[in-house]
Amino acid sequence: MARVGLILDGGTGDGQDTRGAADVAADRLRTLGFDVERLSLRTMAIAPCVGCFRCWIETPGRCVLEDDGREVARRVVGSDLVVLLTPIRFGGYSSELKKALDRLIPIISPFFRRIRGEVHHRRRYSRYPELVGVGVRAQERPLPDEEDLFEALVLRNAINLRAPRQAACVVDRDDPKRSVRATIGRALEQVAGR
């Protein structure tokens, strides 16, 4: 059975800021043998997480908000690899990507355990997808540490969302397509190339 690669596209506005990178990631995933699913988050009805924890203690594993946020969580759990695609904002994610990530807490357990000397949540499912962060930079003058920050954020997500492996890369929106292809390809192969 083919592996499933899910692209969570956190592009903003008309989506042009991430469309090229999304196409490149989809093509590369297909050549790596994945069935590709793409979710354009800005077009989806995903309400902000209200921090009620009812997805942990009332309806364990499922958010009580009945909108597309549930579908995103279901698709993430059903994937082998998830691409977190976003225009970079101050080294972090766009609000469009973040609104989907906030709704992923039902996929982990409320119970705590210690991992690498820190307290985190236990896994709910027996398997979780690999994570690949792809940041698209648009500013003429990149902020200092932007790439490092983006990589650090993806790593923190991988720990908390229990990803077995993770990678991150940053491309400039105006980079030649060949360069974008090479950068994103390397990040995907790093976790999915075997």
Partner 1 sequence: MTTTRPSVLLLVGSPKGLERGSSARLGRLLVDGLTQRGWASNAIHLHAAVANDEGRRELVAAVDQADVVVLAAPLYVDYLPAPAVRALECIAANRQERRGESRPRFVSLIQCGFVEPNQNDTCQRILERFADHAGLEWVTGISLGSAGRIVKRGRRALALLAEALDLEILVPQEVQQLSQSPRAPGWLYVLAGNLMWRRLARRHGSAGQLDARPDARP
Interface segment toward partner 1; rule CB under 8 A; list 25-33, 124-132, 169-177, 184-192? 124-132
Task: Work out how close the CB of 35 gets to partner 1 at its nearest, in angstroms, rounded to a whole number.
Answer: 14
Say if CB 111 and CB 172 are below 8 A apart. no
Rule CB under 8 A: is residue 32 a binding residue for partner 1?
no
Q: What 3-state DSSP class applies to 97?
A: helix
34-40 and 81-87 strand pairing: unpaired
Q: Where are the alpha helices (DSSP H) in 7-145?
A: 16-31, 54-57, 68-77, 95-102
Q: Which of 15, 40, 44, 92 binds partner 1 (CB under 8 A)?
A: 92
| Site string (156-175) toward partner 1, x via CB under 8 A | xx--xx--------------
- According to DSSP, the residues that pair with 38 across neighbouring strands are 7
Among the listed residues 45, 145, 174, 177, the single contact to partner 1 using CB under 8 A: 145
51 binds partner 1 (CB under 8 A): yes
Q: 61 and 124 in contact (C-beta within 8 Å)?
A: yes
Q: How far apart are CA 12 and CA 43, in angstroms?
A: 10
What is the Cα Rg of the chain in Å? 16
Residue numbers at the binding site for partner 1 (CB under 8 A): 12, 48-51, 53, 56-62, 73-74, 77-78, 89-95, 98-99, 101-102, 104-105, 107, 109-114, 117-120, 124-127, 143-146, 149, 152-153, 156-157, 160-161
